[in-house]
Amino acid sequence: MTLARTRVRGGVGESAPRPDGVPKVRGEFPYASDLYLEGMLFGHTLRSPHPHALIRAVDVTAAREISGVRVILTERDLPTRERFGLMKRDQPVLAEGRVRYAGEAIAIIAADEADQARAAAKAIVVEYEILPPMSDPIAALGPDAPALHEGGNVIDDVLVVHGDPDAQAEVVVQGEYEVAMQDQAALGPEAGLAIPTADGGVTLHIATQWLHEDLGQIAPALGLPNEQVRLVLAGVGGAFGAREDVTLQIHACLLALATKRPVRMSYGREESFYGHVHRHPARLFYEHGARRDGTLVYVRATIVLDGGAYASSTSAVVANAGCFAAGPYRVPNARVRSVGAYTTNPPAGAMRGFGAVQACFAYEAQMDKLAAALDMDPVVLRARNAVEDGDRIITSQPVEGSEPVANLLRRCAALPMPADEVAHPLRAGRPSRDPLLLPGGAGNLTHGEGIRRGTGFAAGFKNVCYSHGFDDVSHARVRLERTDSGIRARVHTAAAEVGQGIVTVCQQIVRTALEVEEVIVETPDTTIGSAGSSSASRQTWMTGGAVLAACREVRAALEERALARGRAMDELAALLDEPIERSVAWRHRPTEKRDGHTQNHGHVAFLFAAHRATVDVDLGTGLVKVVQVATSQDVGKAINPQAVVGQLEGGIAQGLGLAVMEEVLLRDGQVRNASFTDYLLPTILDMPPVVCDLVEHPHPDAPYGAKGVGEPPTISSTPAIVAAIRAATGRELNRVPVRPDDIVFGTVARSGWRIVPGSDPAMAARA
């Protein structure tokens, strides 16, 4: 029995409008930093100025005398000694006798006004015994390095062995590469409002990516059962991985419980740089071997990721970097060693691409080196070795349900190139009328002389959803009801809307599955089961899958009711005298846990993309203008095509930033540019036109075949842009972001260490 009604608007495959779009454009959308409650206090954090030190004494006497200060808490005042952390519970709520990075929390304050709390923080006297920093992750892995944590400085160590790791080849290329620390740069800073409840618990309104994971860390730290801690999603102003970790959540709750008053905490921009994790800086040592016809024989690599002071998600990032270290290519033999190290740098964690970004920059540079050594077109070399369904990656897992990567490369190469009149601003000695088209833009450092054009290609891939045996689940509840104005559906999940559009996706799935136009998506909270994190490009697959499964159960119940009453299915008003509601827990197929040498079938499915970048480079100043980026990406099914294009453009913006400007500058563990004045971000004037080719190759296990789209745009756009700069300049460019002096003077990044690709970095020798 089927629904015999007119198909509703805004279903799967349409560019349905976002329900939060208009209020966000108008400035009416309430973000977490806008939270307000009468009588609330303001929280603030005192942070260490030193990257590594012992705390000898903390004196809060003067601070407590400041007008308006209600409470000051140090580690002595904590209700428990529970630690927190995303994958390893290795981080104290407040520093316990030792600080491991500049910015670590020492004390927290609640006061009537924000400036009073800040004044109190300045009045706290902390006596430090400063210790030498350990900012080099390779040095931290050495046998003689002092341990920053009990158990040593290795956060995780993954070895991938595939085929014959000692295979030999006719043509061999090597390279050492560096990826700098990148910030997620969400416009909305960390913020939340904690409200004490009558039962001695607390309700926290918080901008986060994963409500239930936060709950699992917050409640033990407060010494409360989960039932007394409720989390509600507040408006999230961007995430990109930075909100997977606990930042101010525990601190705000502690202050609210101590004062029995609501407490709001909101970081300023500088504090945000210290308060959240960043992309892992990486050193990568690679060797590729191939036959003379371009067929890959082996890849050997050693990847060292700087995890910073605490583990966060480093274990998973290390595993991803190892799994995807050879790229989307058929590689019969491999040995890859991927290691994450503790240092006294700021903690590193999740950021869009999650380990695959670092590896892709290195292996795509290697593919270009190999193409040059073989005198072969880079696209031809890639296509010759590109994986397709049935091929196995270096973890021995076969690719299934994906568009052949060679097709993506060819389609990307065939996309329109930038128009010639836009591409070459200098014509017959006449300067361009628009200096913004030139490298340097409004700075007008050139009229077109000395500009050289280059084009580069890259391909990349990554997993979708959680991997390696994790019990990946999403819960959803769907209710179909009759109202005075008609038929309405309500959806409740804990999925965090962080700007990616999961609220719209849920609406579209319900409209398509139940053929009802009015769909209300309720505010996510912890009164329903977990939806997992809004990360790993998984929410459309997982929460979308849960919503679809719940809709199917609702529809089955409706059909059963119609049959029992002898009614037609289109008589919804009569059939819904009582609402129909169903809840489901939806899981993807099981994955295998990691073993000692390979991850086997550790992933659910893979996401693939190809990018082509065109750049203009001013050889005299080293300035770069990205003229165009083109991409072909296997999206499975575009649930909302306009939103998919938006994800591709946003991801490319972050890839461009990493390629030519974005870097958290560190000196002996100190952040030198903790502001959006000094941390350079692409603006609308830096973004090029983006040509998108959405390839729909549905995956049989995903809702409507949709695979998730958010991460691949960042993964291979960076190496494509750098490849284009290499083509224009002839420079090696083995580090991102590329700096002007790299282009003008041919500066080459070297770690100062000798590591044989594929070997244990603990055995590194000084160069």
Q: 294-309 pLDDT, tens per residue?
A: 999 999 999 999 999 9
Q: Is the pLDDT of residue 2 over 50?
A: no
Distance CA 195, CA 200 (A): 10
Residue 5 confidence class, pLDDT cut points 50, 70, 90: very low
Find all residues with CB under 8 Å of 66, minimum gap 6, and list them. 111, 116, 119, 120, 123
CA distance to 4, 648, 694, per residue, from 642 (Å): 29, 10, 11
86 and 128 co-located in one domain: yes
pLDDT at 462: 98
Which pLDDT tens digit goes with each residue over 439-467?
Answer: 988 776 777 788 999 999 999 999 999 99
Q: Report phi then psi at 393, rounded to 5.
A: -80, 180
- The sheet with strand 263-266 has its strands ordered as 69-73, 105-111, 41-47, 263-266, 191-196, 202-206, 229-233
Give the domain CATH number at 61: 3.90.1170.50
How many other C-beta atoms are found inside a 10 Å radius of the C-beta of residue 331? 26
The mean pLDDT of 186-210, rounded to a whole number, is: 98
Residue 275 has pLDDT above 50, yes or no: yes
Residue 223 in tokens: 């010494």
pLDDT at 718: 98
Q: What is the tens place of the pLDDT at every residue in 14-50?
A: 999 999 999 999 999 999 999 999 999 999 999 999 9
SS3 472: coil
Model confidence band, residue 6 (pLDDT cutoffs 50, 70, 90): very low
Decide if 146 is inside a domain: no
> Structure tokens of 288?
């590729």
Q: What is the mean pLDDT of the chain?
A: 95
Residues 121 and 229 both lie in one domain: yes
- Of the pLDDT bands very low, low, confident and very high (cuts 50, 70, 90), residue 595 is confident
Q: Of 354-363, 486-495, 561-570, 576-585, which gets the smallest average pLDDT?
A: 561-570
pTM above 0.95, yes or no: yes
Q: What is the pLDDT of residue 3?
A: 37
Q: Note whether 452 and 478 are same-domain residues.
A: no
pLDDT of residue 445: 72
CB 50 within 8 A of CB 102: yes
**Same domain membership, residue 651 and residue 568:** no
Q: Are strands 670-671 and 666-667 parallel, antiparallel or unpaired?
A: antiparallel
Q: Please, what is the Cα angle at 156 between 154 and 162, to 5 degrees?
A: 125
- pLDDT above 70 for 429: no
Give a yes or no: residue 318 inside a domain. Answer: no
In terms of domains, do 721 and 731 share one?
yes
Provide the pairing of β-strand 333-342 with 154-162: antiparallel
114 and 221 part of one domain: yes
Does residue 385 lie within any of the structural domains? no
Q: Do 122 and 248 belong to one domain?
A: yes
Cα maximum dimension of the chain = 83
3-class DSSP string for 712-765: HHHHHHHHHHHHHHHHHHCCCCCEECCCHHHHHHCCCCCCCEECCCCCCHHHCE
Domain count, the chain: 3
**Is residue 764 situated within a structural domain?**
no
Same domain, residue pair 490 and 583: yes
Q: What is the 3-state secondary structure (H, E, C) of 157-211?
A: EEEEEECCCCCCCCEEEEEEEEECCCCCCCCCCCEEEEEECCCCCEEEEECCCCH
| Crossing angle of the two packed helices 356-374 and 378-385, in degrees rounded to 10 | 110
Which of 522, 557, 587 finishes a domain? Answer: 587
Instruction: Examine the pLDDT at 698 and tell me if it is beyond 50.
Output: yes
Which structure tokens are listed for 309?
């002071």
Token duo for residue 646? 């938006």
- What DSSP string runs through 504-548? HHHHHHHHHHH--SEEEEPPPBTTS-----S-TT-HHHHHHHHHH
Contact 570, 4 (CB under 8 A): yes
pLDDT-based confidence at residue 376 (cuts at 50, 70, 90): very high
Whether 213 is covered by a domain: the verdict is: yes
With bands split at pLDDT 50, 70 and 90, how would you rate the model's confidence at 264? very high
613, 726: one domain: yes
Q: How confident is the model at residue 437 (pLDDT cuts 50, 70, 90)?
A: confident
For residue 324, being part of any structural domain is answered with no
Pair (445, 530) in one structural domain: no
How many CA within 13 A on the CB side of residue 434?
8
Domain that holds residue 198: 32-132+189-236+243-275
pLDDT at 732 over 90: yes
Residue 45 belongs to some domain of the structure: yes
| Same domain flag for 576 and 637 | no
Q: State the pLDDT confidence band at 420, using cuts at 50, 70 and 90.
A: low
CA distance 543 to 539: 5
Count of residues making up the chain: 767
Q: Show the tokens assigned to 551.
A: 């809709």
What is the pLDDT confidence band of residue 424, given thresholds at 50, 70 and 90? Answer: low
Indicate whether 428 pLDDT > 50.
no
Per-residue pLDDT tens over the stretch 620-675: 999 999 999 999 999 999 999 999 999 999 999 999 999 999 999 999 999 999 99
Q: 138-177 pLDDT, tens per residue? A: 999 999 999 999 999 999 999 999 999 999 999 999 999 9
Average pLDDT over residues 97-101: 98
**Predicted pLDDT of residue 538:** 98
Residue 623 within any structural domain of the chain: yes
